[in-house]
């Protein structure tokens, strides 16, 4: 086996996850293309296909399926690379988890395509999907838990064999992300098992709508960090290696992940600031905690700037910004991720606006929010995953990113950036003017409303042009993936792609950062403070449960 390569079992497993991820990506982006044209009034769907069906498929396939399968591929390959080969048991449980996750996904997608579940990815009650849609969701989560626990098991074995040592940064970050994911899913599992399934199968008559939404958002906000943290792992651990340097600060990196475990969960009410049934005090408390979860992202930004500047100066960059020119711009593995980071500056600033109580009144339920998530999950996260794809697939398939493919990769990331810039800017501006989200184009009969769409950027055409460029870019990416997987030339020993992991100096890292019991304990205390009373209120003072609505 080539040095730094991982065992065949893990390679197959990671590739299986990637295959699922990119199949979902292709269908999901096609749904996105349909949507922008429908909203632009340029396309009318045939009677058997509904706008909300397409929107549900788009959100689920891209935000949930593409991300989750990609993340597990990255974790499995990286854990095997940094902690050593999986034992038989770990590998088997990972496969079982993968199969359960896939079965759940197929069930969910079948229900959506069959027109039984046009409830969007937030599946808000009282919209009601077929019971099997919720069963599929439960299987999906259980499958990820199985894979997650198998990876944590691998880490535990390593720690037993390496008493007193810090785990490699990649493994530490994987475990932190999985811990957050497992705690976060408790909310959605409770809602699906105890509320949605009994209600959808007709075992109980009504559903407590506000409770189900609160349990969803208990999960829904950390969900966005489940997407973000693997991207941060690439920024902290992979990017410095590509630059030829080490991690800026091991303790800063570990602390930022610990802060995500603590503060990413007790903040879900910032998605419900306009909803009744939750007292203002609890909304305020969770808004304050939301501002706490911004801190680890600011620490990450600081760490990235420091890495770039220090390395650029080492390479001879002079003056205030001379270091900038010394960065490896011709390497698509770096440039893709840099662009991803740059998009997160307005993306993160938008998040801070959303979280600000009064400003949320202006943007809530408007296209602004759609713009926001396209420049958070849709670019910083997705484009980091593209950047990883350019070396991860060759690493797993034993092929090479040739010069010609690298050129195509550049076209792909640039077209994605242009498409996203056009589309998300139009969405932000239209949202500020009041254009609603989660609706098909309604014709906007009123003159004042029609005037929103006269601006250069504030019109649905810009959005549609952006969406079309994005779809072309997505198709190009699929072409590159196919090439790297099956067609590009095989790499010999000298050309073989490596899994780039930067070295990280742990000499000043305090031991308590790897004390999981401490962090999980504090996380549960914060969750109890933020959620016990408001959830108890929602249960105790519940209105009569709502009946079922199917609007499609």
Enumerate binding residues for ligand HAS (CB under 6 A): 122, 224, 227-228, 270-271, 290, 293-294, 297-298, 300-301, 304-305, 341-342, 344-345, 348, 351-352, 354-355, 360, 364, 369, 372-373, 376-377, 381
Residue 130 annotated as catalytic = no
Q: What are the Cα distances from residue 389, in Å, to 19, 195, 307, 481, 488?
A: 12, 39, 23, 8, 14
246 CB-side CA count, 13 A: 7
Q: Hey, which residues does 546 pair with through a beta bridge?
A: 207
Distance in angstroms (rounded) separating the CA atoms of residues 487 and 359:
51
Between 168 and 348, CB nearer to ligand HAS: 348
Nearer to ligand HAS, 224 or 461 (CB): 224
One of 20, 22, 123, 225 is an active-site residue; which one? 225
**Which of 372, 399, 428, 460 does the annotation list as catalytic?**
372
Catalytic residue among 58, 130, 437, 460: 437
- Nearest-approach distance from CB 436 to ligand HAS, in angstroms: 12
Query: Helices (DSSP H) in 40-87: which residue ranges?
Result: 51-59, 67-83
Out of 39, 58, 81, 221, the active site residue is: 221
Q: How far apart are CA 503 and CA 505, in angstroms?
A: 7
Answer left, alpha or beta for residue 316, where phi above 0 means left and psi between -120 and 50 means alpha: left
Q: Is 364 a catalytic residue?
A: no
List 159, 364, 438, 548, catalytic entry? 438
Q: Which is nearer to ligand HAS, 26 or 299 (CB)?
A: 299
Task: Report d(CA 463, CA 425) in Å as an integer.
Answer: 8
Q: Establish whether 325 is a catalytic residue.
A: no
Structural contact between residues 286 and 270, judged by C-beta atoms closer than 8 angstroms: yes
Beta strands in 294-443 (DSSP E): none
Separation CA 346–CA 342 (nearest Å): 8
Closer residue to ligand HAS in complex, CB, 99/331: 331
CB of 58 to ligand HAS, least distance (A): 12
Q: Distance between CA atoms of 411 and 253, rounded to whole angstroms? A: 32
Active site residue 438: yes
* Separation between Cα atoms, residue 149 and residue 154, nearest integer Å: 9
What is the smallest separation between the CB atom of 294 and ligand HAS, expressed in angstroms? Answer: 5
Rounded to a whole number of angstroms, the minimum distance from the CB of residue 194 to ligand HAS is 23
Minimum separation from the CB atom of position 349 to ligand HAS (A): 7
Residue 198 φ then ψ, to 5°: -60, -35
Closest approach, Cβ 137 to ligand HAS, in A, equals 16
Rounded CA separation 122/219 (Å): 11
C-beta of 381 vs 396, nearer to ligand HAS: 381
Cα dihedral sign, 3-8-13-16: positive
Q: Which is nearer to ligand HAS, 108 or 369 (CB)?
A: 369
Residue 434 Rama label (left phi>0; alpha psi -120 to 50; beta): left
- Told to judge if 541 belongs to the known catalytic residues of this protein, a careful annotator would answer no
- Residue 297: which of 220, 367, 380 has the closest Cα? 380
Assess whether 338 carries a catalytic annotation: no
Least distance between ligand HAS and beta carbon 501 (Å): 20
Please confirm, yes or no, whether 225 is among the known catalytic residues: yes
Q: Which among 270, 374, 399, 428 is annotated as catalytic?
A: 374
Q: Which is nearer to ligand HAS, 82 or 384 (CB)?
A: 384
Strand partners, 127: 549
Residues serving a catalytic function are: 221, 225, 372-374, 437-438
């Amino acid at each position: 086996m080539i040095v730094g390569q991982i065992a065949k079992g893990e390679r197959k497993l990671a590739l299986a996850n990637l295959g699922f991820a990119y199949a979902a990506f292709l269908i999901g982006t096609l749904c996105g293309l349909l949507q922008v044209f429908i909203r632009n009034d340029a396309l009318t769907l045939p009677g058997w296909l509904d706008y909300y069906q397409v929107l549900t498929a788009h959100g689920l396939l891209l935000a949930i399926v593409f991300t989750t399968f990609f993340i597990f591929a990255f974790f499995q390959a990286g854990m095997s690379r940094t902690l050593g080969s999986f034992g038989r048991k770990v590998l088997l449980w990972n496969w079982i988890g993968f199969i359960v996750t896939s079965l759940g996904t197929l069930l969910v997608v079948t229900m959506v395509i069959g027109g039984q579940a046009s409830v969007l990815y937030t599946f808000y009650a009282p919209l009601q999907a077929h019971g099997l849609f919720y069963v599929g969701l439960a299987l999906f989560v259980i499958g990820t838990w199985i894979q997650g626990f198998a990876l944590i098991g691998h880490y535990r074995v390593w720690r037993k064999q390496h008493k007193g040592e810090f785990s490699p940064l990649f493994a530490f970050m994987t475990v932190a992300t999985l811990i957050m994911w497992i705690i976060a899913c408790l909310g959605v599992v409770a809602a699906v098992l105890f509320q949605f399934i009994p209600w959808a199968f007709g075992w109980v008559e009504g559903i407590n709508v506000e409770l189900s939404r609160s349990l969803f958002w208990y999960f829904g906000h950390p969900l966005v960090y489940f997407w973000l943290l693997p991207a941060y792992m690439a920024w902290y651990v992979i990017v410095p290696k590509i630059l030829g340097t080490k991690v800026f600060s091991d303790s800063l990196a570990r602390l930022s992940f610990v802060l995500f475990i603590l503060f990413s969960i007790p903040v879900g009410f910032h998605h419900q600031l306009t909803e009744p049934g939750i007292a203002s005090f609890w909304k305020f408390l969770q808004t304050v905690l939301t501002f706490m979860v911004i801190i680890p992202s600011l620490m990450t930004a600081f760490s990235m700037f420091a890495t770039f500047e220090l390395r650029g100066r080492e390479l001879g960059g002079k003056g205030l910004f001379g270091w900038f020119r010394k960065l490896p711009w011709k390497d698509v593995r770096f440039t893709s991720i840099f662009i991803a980071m740059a998009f997160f500056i307005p993306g993160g600033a938008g998040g801070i606006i959303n979280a600000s109580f009064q400003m949320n009144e202006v943007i809530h339920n408007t296209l602004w929010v759609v713009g926001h998530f396209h420049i958070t999950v849709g670019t910083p996260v997705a484009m980091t995953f593209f950047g990883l794809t350019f070396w991860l697939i060759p690493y797993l398939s034993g092929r090479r990113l040739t010069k010609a493919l690298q050129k195509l990769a550049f076209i792909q990331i640039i077209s994605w950036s242009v498409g996203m810039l056009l589309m998300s800017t139009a969405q932000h501006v239209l949202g500020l003017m009041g254009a609603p989200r989660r609706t098909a184009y309604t014709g906007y009969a009123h003159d004042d409303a029609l005037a929103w769409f006269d601006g250069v950027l504030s019109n649905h055409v810009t959005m549609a042009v952006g969406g079309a460029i994005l779809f072309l870019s997505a198709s190009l990416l699929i072409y590159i993936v196919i090439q790297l997987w099956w067609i590009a030339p095989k790499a010999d020993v000298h050309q073989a792609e490596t899994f780039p992991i930067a070295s990280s100096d742990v000499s000043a890292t305090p031991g308590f950062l790897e004390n999981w019991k401490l962090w999980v304990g504090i996380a549960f205390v914060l969750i109890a403070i933020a959620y016990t009373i408001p959830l108890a209120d929602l249960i105790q003072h519940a209105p009569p449960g709502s009946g079922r609505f199917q609007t499609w």
